[in-house]
Amino acid sequence: MKRTLTQLAATVALGVALGASSLAQAKEFLLGSELPLTGNLARVGQGMHEGIAVAIEMANRAYAGKHSFKVSTIDDETNPAKAVAAVERLIGDGAVALTGGYGSNIIGPASEAAQKAGVVYITSGGVTPELTARGYPTFFRINNSEGYAKAMIGLLEDMGVKKVSVVYLNKDATTNLAKQVQSALSAKGVTVGMHEFDAATSDFKPLLNKVKLQDRSEAIAMVGYENDYVGILRAAKVLKPQVKAVVGVWSLATAQMAKEFPDLMENVYGTSMLPYPVEFTQPEALEFAAEYKKLFNKEPDYLGQFGYVQTRLLIDAIVRAEEAGTLAKGGLADELRRTDAQTLIGRVTFDAKGDNTNFSHRMGQHQTGKVVLVWPKDAANGAMRFPGVPW
């Protein structure tokens, strides 16, 4: 297990800025972060990791002279057992709370370990309903499968397609989302063909042949991860089914995918909170983008945005709990439940199960090396290219 320590605290200035009496009251808080920095989910784990680092840097500026924050990050290597070990180690090292995690099957046991220790765990990397159905009082997340489904369904509805093929990975989170899309579209009179595959699938041509010859659908809806999208799109480019659109969900409409697979991404849709290049006007968003570029010499994508928002909400709740004198008494979870904030991903509040029921994603489309937001209309910065496929 690889271990990195990202210490971005601004403690060095405290002695000069505050004087001895104030310095005695200032506190440095350690956050723990367990993420897949290697393995199949390394790319998305790195995106969240970067957003967390930005949140630490910005919080240290906002609370300078009062409190400071640092994060210790352990690579779970996309492995549930190593994620549990990471959480236990971080808590043992004194982390007051955990931010991170990617993949519902990894977050499940990792957050259970945090729950047993009574430590708050917040994430944006696991959307399956089972995670919040457990009712753990220490578990929080800022997004969920309902928000992803709303975006995919809304886009397909606006396209006016009547036949859709849903191609989905048979893991919990992807299956749940695929079935939500199927149920909602079927209720609207759309004919839906369901095509399941497992994580070992590398040749998607037999599956795409069914889409082409049996379904004869107007759109392909992909519910999987980056490697799955690449495999499906490569097979589709060979077989060329007569569809009008190819739509996916998380980690697809990103700058990284545009750069690495330009021959596959053109006209493909995916969930994205941000266009690429990024366009920001709100002050916090401008600061976030500037900090991101300073730390990583690139523009942020929505994975970093999620990592930032979850961590910033956590830090603000830590400060409130500390000032209320409840942090050491388990009051952090209560403070998070009192959260009602307008953030870079919209309004965030948490229900009794720790879910942000306000969450709704946006849809972007790869257009000539850019990611253009095309849904919903009030968030769009361009028009969708429809019909449009990569071939």
Query: How far apart are the C-alpha atoms of 106 and 40, rounded to whole Å?
Result: 12
- Contact indicator for 43, 296 with CB cutoff of 8 Å: no
Does the pLDDT at position 17 exceed 50?
no
Residues 6+ apart with CB under 8 A from 159: 218, 219, 244, 245, 384, 386
pLDDT at position 148: 92
Q: Count the helices and strands in the chain (H runs, E runs).
A: 14, 15
What average pLDDT does the chain have? Answer: 91
DSSP annotation of 214 reads I
pLDDT at position 372: 94
Query: How far apart are the C-alpha atoms of 88 and 110, rounded to whole Å?
Result: 9
- Contact indicator for 186, 162 with CB cutoff of 8 Å: no
Beta strand pairing status for 363-367 and 269-271? antiparallel
**Looking at 242-377, which runs of residues are DSSP E strands?**
245-247, 269-271, 340-343, 346-349, 363-367, 370-375
Give the fold, CATH level 3, of 146-278+362-375.
Answer: Rossmann fold (3.40.50)
Does the pLDDT at position 23 exceed 70?
no
pLDDT at position 346: 87
Query: How far apart are the C-alpha atoms of 204 and 245, rounded to whole Å?
Result: 18
The full set of domain ranges for the chain reads 27-144+281-349, 146-278+362-375
Tokens 């990202």 — which residue? 6
Q: Which of 122, 149, 144, 125 is nearest to 133 (CA)?
A: 144
Note the pLDDT tens digit of each residue in 197-251: 999 999 999 999 999 999 999 999 999 999 999 999 999 999 999 999 999 998 8
Give the confidence band of 313 by pLDDT, cuts at 50, 70, 90.
very high
Give the confidence band of 25 by pLDDT, cuts at 50, 70, 90.
low
Give the fold, CATH level 3, of 27-144+281-349.
Answer: Rossmann fold (3.40.50)
Across the range 363-376, mean pLDDT stands at 94
Return the number of other C-beta atoms located less than 10 Å from residue 257's C-beta. Answer: 24
The model carries a pTM of: 0.77
DSSP annotation of 381 reads S
pLDDT at position 340: 97
Rg (CA), the chain: 21
Beta strand pairing status for 191-197 and 219-223? unpaired
Note the pLDDT tens digit of each residue in 56-114: 999 999 999 999 999 999 999 999 999 999 999 999 999 999 999 999 999 999 999 99
Backbone CA torsion sign across 368, 373, 374, 377:
negative
Phi, psi of 67 (to 5 degrees): -140, 165
- Looking at per-residue confidence, does 358 or 280 come out higher? 358
Structure tokens at 390: 């990569």
- Contact indicator for 57, 40 with CB cutoff of 8 Å: no
Does the pLDDT at position 11 exceed 50?
no
